[in-house]
Every structure is written in C-alpha cells, then in structure tokens.
Structure 1
Amino acid sequence: MNILYLSPNFPPNYTAFPLRLRDEGAVVAGIGWEAPERLPPELRGALAEYCRVENMGDYDHVLRAAAWLLSRIGRFDRVVAQEEHFVDLEAALRLDFNVPGLKPADIVGLRHKSRMKEGFARAQVPTAAWELATDAAAGQRFARRVGYPIIAKPDKGVGAHATYKLSDDAELTDFFAVKDPRIPFLLEEFLAGVIQSFDGLTDRDGGIVFCTGHQFSIDIMTAVNQDQNLHYWSFRDLPADLEAQGRRSIAAFGLKERFFHLEFIRGPRGKLTAMEINARPPGGLTTDMFNYANDIDVYRGYAELVVHGGFRAEWKRPYHVSYVGRKNGKPYRHSHEDILRAHGDLIVSHTPIDSVFRKAIGDYAYLARARSLAELQPVADFIHQLEA
C-alpha cells in the first residue's frame, strides 16, 4: 500500500502515524514545509520519499510535489492528513489522483458550520438556533429572536479562531463594522453549560471501532479570548445520551476510515446540544490520552486499520486521563519541580506545546492518569494554582 502523507512531522506527537504505517508495511511518502534534514531521524527513516513545499497553501506546488512522489513510489492508495488545516488539501489531492476517501464535494458538510447543522438534523440531534447574517440589521433581528448574548463565528473556520461572544447591539454593530465582508459568519444563540466531546475512529464501512469522550473545564473560545488555562479529562463510562447522539451523528455524516471529534454542550438541566463535527483526531495530546486511558497504541491501531482493514486493539477505558495546560506569564504558586514531587505518581507525561497551539491549550502540558476523577482534580488544581 502506498500512502501520501501530508505534514508528517507536525504536530510532533503525530509523527507516530507515519511511523506505524511504515511498520505495518505501507510505503509512506511525505509532503511538508520542513527541510528534510530537520525532520526527526526516526521519521526520515520511515518515509520512502519526502518533498519539501515551502507553502502548503500553494496547491500548484503541492500538486507538483505529489506528482513527483507518485513517479517515485507509484499510484497512491491513500492520501492522509490528520490536521484540520489540511482537510481541504487532502480532499483535492484525492480527486486529482483518483484516490479513495473524502473528495471536495464530500467535505462541504464537514467544513461549513451551517452545513453541519443539516447533518445533525439528519441524525435527529439538536443544535443551537443559528443564522448566516450579512449585516448588523440582520444580526439584530436574530438577537431579538434568541436574546443576547450570541456567538459569532466564521461559517468555515478552525477551532475558536475569530469566534466572539456579543453581548448587546453595540458590540454586534462594532463586530460587523470591522469583520471582513468576504467571510461569511454564522450567528448562533449562546448556550450555557459544559463542553463534552465524542471522539473516536471509524473503519472502512463507517463502523465505529474505537470511541471515548471528554469533558472540558472551559470552552476553547474562553481559553483563547480570556487567556485562561484549560483542563479536560476523559470519561471511563460515556454518558448514554452523548454516545447515542454521537453514534447517530457519525452515521449521518458518513465518515469512513477516519478519526472524528464531535463537540456538544450540556446545559444546566442536562440537555445535550451538538456544536460541531471534525473529521480528524481531537487536537493537542488527546490521541496520547487515548493510549494512556486504555493501555493501547491508537497510532498502531489506525495503521492496522488502513493497511489491513481491521482495528485490533482491545479497549475498556480502565483509566481517566486528564490534560492540564499551563500558559506562561502567570504567577503560579508551584514550580514544575513542585508538581512532579507532589503528583509524579499520577503524571504519565509532560511536554512543551508548540506555540501555534498555546492560545488554546497552553505552553506546557501535563497528562495525569487515575481510576477515579477524585484523584485527578487535585492534580489540576495544584498545577493551576496561582499566588494569592
């Protein structure tokens, strides 16, 4: 099997994907922006060929690089990218090289939030009220219908980038005065509650072969816009409605041989409302959390699925795993050394985070593991505690 892999070196923990694909017998060729000599040696050894493209957003250059790689290893059986930024790129390459998988026409409903609403409707999963508003007057009519505050976000966007909470007509008017008129924005009613996710992997037929879920201390918009620290943790037992709505959604969107990350908000009275779907792994170190929570290697499991057609890992979620991120520049009470002395028995991993992700998930991350959440919460509290 020949695999064209986009951005094989980034993010750093995702280098395990091309390594495991090679281990399972695939011939892996990579395209990325990093110079070949700067790739980790283990990754260089796993790639049969590699072509550097200075700008991954220049499709003509990427297309020429892919054509050169095809001449070196032969016809591509898969085009793979695990990063949100490259979902459009991999779809276009699949179309041009006639490779199985999602094509540009297939991803419209996965990339535009307005179209996601249609997919959730097919799954009979509730969503927040919304409208594609083109000007302040239309926005004010929507706000009068649902009440302030409201959320404004790009119809096609990544994460919480350019996402705002608008509290009154003045903020709404200011928003429309400065926003780029070429970018459609979706207005959505604000729903109070906690964020929960449904995450996993599907096989070639769209069946879910692995799934889990997480709960977040704050939403990513708050982490980014208010520069707050984020903490989230995995479930051992998924809430029944989260799993049911998640499974119906995956079936409705028709995801095959892909990771997925669905976000929901659970209101104060327990109602679950879908926010969005992403046809890629959850970000940050969450795939590593999969591994620690289940004592598996999800990177190898994915490679086995792609190359051999089956996910062989057995998983029962024996542990909760929490992600605790710290942003630099805050007056923390406890040093890194203090943290390891106090909670080193529960901390299974800690690492710097690339600066491109720091606004959302911090500059440094700790992963902690325990059988009960009661053991994990004090770890997060200790890591985040500030000087009085």
Structure 2
Amino acid sequence: MVHVVFVAPYLLRATLQFIDGAATLPGVRLILVTQDRLAGVPASVRANLFRFHRVENVMDETQLLAAIHELRAKVGPIHRLIGTLEDLQETLARVRQTLSIDGMDPITAGNFRQKSKMKEILRGNGIPCAKHCLATNRPQLDAFIDKVGYPLVAKPPAGAGSRATFQLNHAGDLDNLLSENSLSTGKPILFEEFIMGNEYTFESAWIEGRMKWHSITRYYPSPLEVLNNSWIQWCILLPREIDHPYFNDIREIAAKANQCLGIQNGFTHLEWFRRSDGSIAVSEVAARPPGGQLTSITGFAHQFNIHQEWARSVIFNQFAEPKRCYAAGAAFLRGQGKGRVAAVQGIKKIQEELGALIVEMKLPAIGQPPGGGYEGDGYILVRHPITAVVEKALSRIITSVRVVLD
C-alpha cells in the first residue's frame, strides 16, 4: 500500500471530490492534512480515509513539515505529498524536497506559480504570450505603459482564478489601484497588455514528461469581463469535436509550453486567447486540475472519474485516456443588484425544456449573500452528444434564469 498525504486548507466541495478520488484509488492509504475540522468531512468521504490530521495553518511550511514528521512516526514512510490548490504548490514542492518525497520539485513548481517567471520562460522558448512587467516602482511601470499603452491587466505575481485581477482602461484606473496598493520590491504587481480575442482553456494530462490526453474549452465571455460586469451570467463550453485543424496550432503551442515549464506527472490548466487575426497568445499555465466546474464538465463529457484519474497521475504516474463522448457546458447563475438572494426565477421552465440534458445543478439558497466572484452563486451543468445542442441549452439558461436579490 502507498501512503499518500493530501493537503487541503479548506474542505470545499470540489476539493472533497479530489480527496475522495485519491482515497478510493486501489492501493492507496490516504491521509488528509487540513486546517478544517473533521466535522467538515462528509461521512461518505471519511469512510475512505486512512487517517485525518489537523494543523493550524497548512500554508505554513514549518507546520506542514512537522505534520509529515509526526505522520511518518505513526504510519511509516510517506510516498506521495499532493494537493490541488494552486497557492500550495510551491510549499508542497519544498516539503517534498526536504523529506525526499517523489513529486514536482521546487523549480518546476515556481515555473508554473510565479507568473512573471513563467512568461519569461515561455517567451524565451518562442511561445506567444502577453507582454508583461513585474513592477516594483512607478518609473519602471511608466516605461512599460509607454510601450504597450492602455488597457492593461493588473494581477498578483502568483495569483489564481482571476483573484485580485483588474482591468485598467486609463491612467485614472491605475491611480486608483496604486492608491491602495503601493509598488515596492517586497510587494510587486504584475502588469500585462490586455489581449482582445476569444478565450479558451487547454487541459492536459502528463506522464513522465509526455502529454497523454488533452481537452479544450471555451469561455463565454472571459472571466475578467465577468468580474468587471456583475450582471453577466457566463458560460463554459466544452465542444465534443476538438480534432479540427482550427486547434492544431494550440495543440503544438500548449505541448511546448508545458514541456518547457517542466511538467512530468499530473494535470495542467492552460488559458489562451485567439485574436481576431487568428494568432494565439498564452495567458498562463497552472500545474493543477482546472476549477470553476470545468473539472466536472470534463468528467461528464468523457464519462470518466476525472478526480480519480488525476490522483492516479500524481500518485502512480499513470493515466487511462478517456474517450470524448459528449459536449458539455456550465452556466453560472449570478444575482443582479444588491442584497441577499430572494428568489431564483425560471428554474421550473428550464427543467421542463432541457430535461435530461441537465446532469448537475446547484442553486443559490434563499437568504444567502451574493458570492461576488466570477463563478456566481450557483450553476447548471448540461451534456449532449451534439455541441450545438449544448450551446443552445446554455444560452437558454442564462437568458431564462434570474437570481433576484432583495
């Protein structure tokens, strides 16, 4: 049996799915290390755990090291140290290195996590990506703006999921940002040129440095546009057909991007743009499974346990390539205006219209405050063998369902 430690700060629903995927993998004894309470683990997941271990802060490398030492004394060798949270990847890599545990090393983790370093590596290998500046002072930033102009995108140097990401359309927007976030060597801000175009993702599974599988998904519209417009109910579309020549260039570019960043085993999530002139620009790459219900619709489209296959890739360096049987999509529900959720309108009509196309649904609870993020307050996932049917279903959902705030 292989002793595997899964590290997760908080036991969110999506995280629990990956925990259970690893815990139910044959040959694995899974130990969960978290700062949440055992009560946060559903009984169905708890039954599959080998051991539960709580620390005050799993992001603290010292505490995590101490936890692994303690677990080693109790259960014997720890063979793998894993986790899905992007913010944890460098910490996990350093602990692996310190304790001689196989897995992603600190250099590779830093290549994926530090966005400015990532773009330098990509551009140095001839991969098209947004021009950027990791600014520590105003003259440095002004010189960059003189070259690329507005609009700009500002984000943390090691952000994830569009958190703390802003579109700056003019100098006034920049002044507002810098009034609350001063530039310094200790707190730089990553600025990028704003890329116009259709935004996609490229998910891939890697075993021993070779890409074994990939998937392509389209955002409608981009997450940044959603963040800037609270009224938008947005969608993710995973088309059934991705072997079209239209995607030949991104297949080559994405494979090269992942290879030069150093991925060996596991999943990656790459975001990219197709400009109006047909050219490609890579936004960024993460050495983790995707979020935003993208993992779920990928599993539904391929009819496989994606959470377990991710675990297999990082624990046993194996991956069973699935067949893409369906198109799938996610429609995100967002409240309009201010206040708490008072009603969710149009659900009964959508259920009657779409019927079996709906494979999963999470509605906002009456009385809950709006989440404020780009994922909104709920979602509806759909699936069908024909891509156009899924596209039409997503359009019907976002134009028919309304989350009322009061």
Gaps of 5+ in 2: none
**Counterpart for residue 117 of structure 2:** 115
Distance 1:194 1:264, change over 3 A: same
Where 2:373 maps in the other structure, the secondary structure is: helix
Give the counterpart of 1:365 among 360, 364, 379: 379
Range moving further from structure 2, 61-70 or 305-314: 305-314
Which string of whole-angstrom CA distances, capped at 9 and with x for unpartnered residues, describes residues 323-353 of structure 1? 1110134699942222211112211111258
Q: Is the 8 A contact 1:132 1:187 kept in 2?
A: yes
Range moving further from structure 2, 64-73 or 8-17: 8-17
1:66 aligns with 2:74: no
For 1:241 and 1:112, how far apart are their aligned partners in 2?
25
For 2:206 and 2:164, how far apart are their aligned partners in 1?
30
**Counterpart for residue 219 of structure 1:** 222
For 2:75 and 2:364, how far apart are their aligned partners in 1?
34
Which string of whole-angstrom CA distances, capped at 9 and with x for unpartnered residues, describes residues 71-130 of structure 1? 222111111101112212311221222111223333222111111112212442111222
For 2:390 and 2:401, how far apart are their aligned partners in 1?
21
Distance 1:272 1:22, change over 3 A: same
Residue 300 of structure 1: CA displacement? 2.8
Instruction: Give the letter for the 2:13 counterpart.
Output: P
Residue 233 of structure 1: CA displacement? 0.9
Range moving further from structure 2, 210-219 or 345-354: 345-354
Instruction: Give the letter for the 1:223 counterpart.
Output: V
Instruction: Give the letter for the 2:387 counterpart.
Output: L
Give the counterpart of 2:362 among 343, 347, 351: 351
Give the counterpart of 1:190 among 170, 194, 214: 194
Which string of whole-angstrom CA distances, capped at 9 and with x for unpartnered residues, describes residues 215-258 of structure 1? 10122222223223220111333311121111111111121211
Residue 295 of structure 1: CA displacement? 1.5
Q: TM-score, normalised by structure 1?
A: 0.91
For 2:315 and 2:68, how far apart are their aligned partners in 1?
20
Where 2:39 maps in the other structure, the secondary structure is: helix
Which string of whole-angstrom CA distances, capped at 9 and with x for unpartnered residues, describes residues 332-388 of structure 1? 994222221111221111125899976021111111112233212222222222699
Q: Is the 8 A contact 1:122 1:252 kept in 2?
A: no
Residue 159 of structure 1: CA displacement? 2.2
Where 2:53 maps in the other structure, the secondary structure is: strand
Q: TM-score, normalised by structure 2?
A: 0.87
Give the counterpart of 1:258 among 257, 266, 285: 266
Range moving further from structure 2, 304-313 or 210-219: 304-313
**Counterpart for residue 324 of structure 1:** 331
Instruction: Give the letter for the 2:189 counterpart.
Output: F
**Counterpart for residue 153 of structure 1:** 155
1:295 aligns with 2:288: no
**Counterpart for residue 206 of structure 1:** 209
Range moving further from structure 2, 237-246 or 212-221: 237-246
Residue 29 of structure 1: CA displacement? 0.7
Q: Is the 8 A contact 1:20 1:303 kept in 2?
A: yes
Residue correspondences, number? 386
For 2:292 and 2:114, how far apart are their aligned partners in 1?
22
Distance 1:332 1:144, change over 3 A: farther
For 1:20 and 1:141, how far apart are their aligned partners in 2?
48
For 2:343 and 2:42, how far apart are their aligned partners in 1?
33
For 2:118 and 2:315, how far apart are their aligned partners in 1?
30
Q: Is the 8 A contact 2:237 2:329 kept in 1?
A: yes
1:173 aligns with 2:175: yes
1:312 aligns with 2:320: yes
Q: Percent identity?
A: 23
Superposed, 1:96-111 pairs within 5 Å as: 96-111=98-113
Instruction: Give the letter for the 1:72 counterpart.
Output: K
For 1:41 and 1:168, how far apart are their aligned partners in 2?
52
For 1:15 and 1:325, how far apart are their aligned partners in 2?
21
For 2:399 and 2:120, how far apart are their aligned partners in 1?
42
Question: Alpha carbon RMSD of aligned pairs, Å?
Answer: 2.6
**Counterpart for residue 135 of structure 1:** 137
For 1:47 and 1:8, how far apart are their aligned partners in 2?
17
For 1:303 and 1:22, how far apart are their aligned partners in 2?
9
Instruction: Give the letter for the 1:90 counterpart.
Output: L
1:17 aligns with 2:18: yes
Where 1:361 maps in the other structure, the secondary structure is: coil
Q: Is the 8 A contact 2:234 2:398 kept in 1?
A: no
Q: Is the 8 A contact 2:9 2:35 kept in 1?
A: no
Where 1:46 maps in the other structure, the secondary structure is: coil
For 1:375 and 1:124, how far apart are their aligned partners in 2?
38
Q: Is the 8 A contact 1:140 1:169 kept in 2?
A: no
Instruction: Give the letter for the 2:240 counterpart.
Output: R
For 1:193 and 1:175, how far apart are their aligned partners in 2?
25
For 2:261 and 2:329, how far apart are their aligned partners in 1?
29
Which string of whole-angstrom CA distances, capped at 9 and with x for unpartnered residues, describes residues 8-59 of structure 1? 9733234333334333111111101221133111221211111112333333
Where 2:291 maps in the other structure, the secondary structure is: coil
Residue 277 of structure 1: CA displacement? 0.6
Q: Is the 8 A contact 1:31 1:51 kept in 2?
A: yes
